[in-house]
Amino acid sequence: MNTPDTAPETGGSAPQQTALHRWAFWVAAVAVVAADQATKTIIRTFMDRGDIWPSDDWPVRLKYVTNTGAAFGMLQDQTVFLTVMTFIGLAAIYVYYRYPPFQHWVATLAIGMMLGGAVGNLIDRILDGRVTDFIDFPRFPAFNVADSSITVGVAIIIIGYLFLEARKDTPAAADADG
């Protein structure tokens, strides 16, 4: 049975995306890029590199740092490699968008979040050769809105797949669909 959250499979080709799926995907992607770039612009405008606000004794703070590598400082000064890898990641996100791991608007929302995060950091890498990070928990590497969006998007995909797909196979779900 088709519900507003699902679309019929089309004989081996990509599932048809409902308007809700497309809307969730694009709104998430655009919102993440906008929030990521706006927050980075604010940080670069009002803080100097290395500045920390409010102070060292807060559990979370703003700390303006830049990163020429990937997560956790890996692959420093590998901008070309990381840019190429980002484009490969964008291709993978497109495949996930066309062939989502499960048919639910939550999946396309999460995939849109990952797209927005990848594009947000790609913009930094292309324009500045480094990514601006500013969300700082002491004893943990600083990160940004794009990093958070990618992480949350992946978590949503995993949790959604485990719970939404598993629920489809239960007798109660079959009765509800039937």
Would residue 10 count as lying in a domain? no
pLDDT in tens, 56-106: 788 899 999 999 988 777 888 898 999 999 999 999 999 988 888 778 888
Would residue 7 count as lying in a domain? no
pTM given for the model:
0.81
Dihedral (C-alpha) 54, 60, 64, 68: value to the nearest 10 degrees?
170
Would residue 173 count as lying in a domain? no
Contact status, residue 51 vs residue 132, Cβ threshold 8 Å: no
Pick the closest to residue 70 from 154, 140, 147, 157 (CA basis). Answer: 147
Look up 57 and say whether it is catalytic: no
Q: Which of 36, 124, 133, 136 is catalytic?
A: 133
Would residue 29 count as lying in a domain? yes
CA 65 to chain centre: 21
The total number of structural domains in the chain stands at 1
CA 93 to chain centre: 10
Would residue 175 count as lying in a domain? no
pLDDT in tens, 105-151: 888 999 999 999 999 999 999 999 999 999 999 888 999 999 999 99
Range(s) of the domain holding residue 74: 24-167
Would residue 56 count as lying in a domain? yes
Would residue 19 count as lying in a domain? no
Would residue 69 count as lying in a domain? yes
Q: Which of 48, 147, 169, 175 is catalytic?
A: 147
**pLDDT tops 50 at residue 172:** yes
Look up 133 and say whether it is catalytic: yes
